[in-house]
């Protein structure tokens, strides 16, 4: 876009840095899809049904931390590649189950592979998970106005709170941070999580508010007060 060869870029919001590069904006955030994680297995219906010591594939530290908290007996193994590659490794018998994003499977027409959902309030997704964002240059008002009609107000509020929390924590899409914000009659409700993938220890905080950024900052500070910096390398 800087070179003028593209007017916009479409991203999975969870992969977009909490702080954009100068000169860029997100004029449109589309209505959020299912933000839950997906438990995928050929033999077992859900996490509780896995036998002791079962092999579960995921490379996400956030998912690993929550899996260890719920099932410390599991053997957590690295899992990389695109969705097709990951499913092929499961089908080849390398894992008893894997954890993916529900939205990613649904967008690929693979919702039938989802055996059960790992969802809030018991399980938190990544900040911005399942939201699609459109990025454009901030100095292109006509493009920004054109894209703004696609913006979903509730989704923007929710992910803004989640991303503000993540930014305050100094996190990225690779750290063990979970967040889930919902629009309520009173404004916004945000749940936050920081975990330790090695031990399965989880820190939780939640709060209500009307300003998304202020709310995200408050929940992050509540997590810091519990020792979140120890899990984030701070």
What DSSP string describes 4-49?
SS-SEEEEEGGGS-SSPPTTEEEEEEPPP----EEEE-SS-SSGGG
Q: Band the pLDDT of 172: cuts 50, 70, 90.
A: low
Confidence of residue 171 (pLDDT cuts 50, 70, 90): confident
Looking at residue 36, its pLDDT comes to 98
Candidates 152, 176, 188, 155; CA nearest to 231 is: 176
Answer yes or no: is pLDDT of 30 > 90. Answer: yes
3-state secondary structure of 234: coil
Residues carrying CATH 3.30.160.40, the chain: 8-33+127-231
Name 76's Cβ contacts closer than 8 Å, sequence gap at least 6.
56, 57, 58, 64, 67, 68
Q: What is the pLDDT of residues 34-88, one digit of tens each?
A: 999 999 999 999 999 999 999 999 999 999 999 999 999 999 999 999 999 999 9
Q: What fold, for 37-118?
A: D-Maltodextrin-Binding Protein; domain 2 (3.40.190)
Q: What is the pLDDT of residue 173?
A: 63
- Is the pLDDT score of 199 beyond 70? yes
Mean pLDDT of 130-136: 98
Nearest to 182 by CA among 121, 101, 226, 133: 121
Per-residue pLDDT, 2: 75
pLDDT at 115 > cutoff 70:
yes
Distance between CA 187 and CA 197 in Å, rounded? 32
> In angstroms, rounded to a whole number, what is the distance separating the alpha carbons of residues 197 and 189?
26
* Predicted local confidence at residue 19, as pLDDT: 84
Question: Catalytic: 34?
Answer: no
CATH 3.30.160.40 fits 8-33+127-231, yes or no: yes
Tell me where in the chain the CATH 3.40.190.10 domain(s) lie: 37-118
Residue 234: the pLDDT is 54
Contact between residue 51 and residue 173 where contact means Cβ atoms under 8 Å apart? no
Residue 57 β-bridge partners: 77, 98
Nearest C-alpha neighbor of 137 from the set 22, 48, 47? 22
Give the pLDDT band (50/70/90) at residue 3. confident
pTM of model > 0.85:
yes
**In whole angstroms, how large is the CA radius of gyration of the chain?**
18
Q: Quick check: 119 pLDDT over 90? A: yes
> Strand, helix or coil at 107?
helix
* pLDDT reading at 126 higher than 90: yes
pLDDT value, residue 233: 75
Q: What is the pLDDT of residue 4?
A: 78
Of 51-60, 157-166, 168-177, give the lowest mean pLDDT range: 168-177
The active-site residue out of 15, 73, 139, 208 is 15
- Computed over every residue of the chain, the mean pLDDT equals 95
Residue 159: pLDDT band (50, 70, 90) is very high
């Amino acid at each position: 876009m800087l070179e003028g060869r593209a007017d916009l870029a479409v991203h999975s919001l969870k992969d977009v840095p909490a702080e954009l590069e100068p000169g860029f904006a997100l004029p449109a955030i589309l209505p959020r899809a299912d933000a839950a994680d997906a438990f995928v297995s050929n033999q077992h219906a859900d996490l509780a049904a896995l036998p002791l010591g079962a092999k579960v594939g995921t490379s996400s530290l956030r998912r690993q931390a929550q899996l260890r908290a719920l099932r410390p007996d599991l053997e957590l193994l690295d899992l990389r590649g695109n969705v097709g590659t990951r499913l092929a490794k499961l089908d080849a018998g390398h894992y008893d189950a894997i954890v993916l994003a529900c939205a990613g499977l649904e967008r690929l027409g693979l919702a039938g592979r989802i055996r059960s959902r790992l969802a809030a309030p018991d399980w938190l997704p990544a900040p911005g998970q399942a939201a699609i964002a459109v990025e454009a240059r901030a100095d292109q008002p006509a493009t920004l106005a054109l894209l703004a009609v696609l913006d979903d107000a509730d989704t923007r509020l929710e992910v803004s709170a989640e991303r503000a929390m993540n930014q305050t924590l100094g996190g990225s899409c690779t750290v063990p941070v979970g967040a889930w914000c919902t629009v309520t009659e009173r404004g916004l409700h945000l749940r936050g999580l920081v975990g330790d993938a090695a031990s399965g220890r989880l820190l939780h905080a939640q709060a209500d508010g009307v300003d998304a950024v202020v709310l995200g900052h408050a929940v992050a500070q509540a997590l810091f007060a519990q020792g979140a910096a120890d899990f984030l390398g701070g």
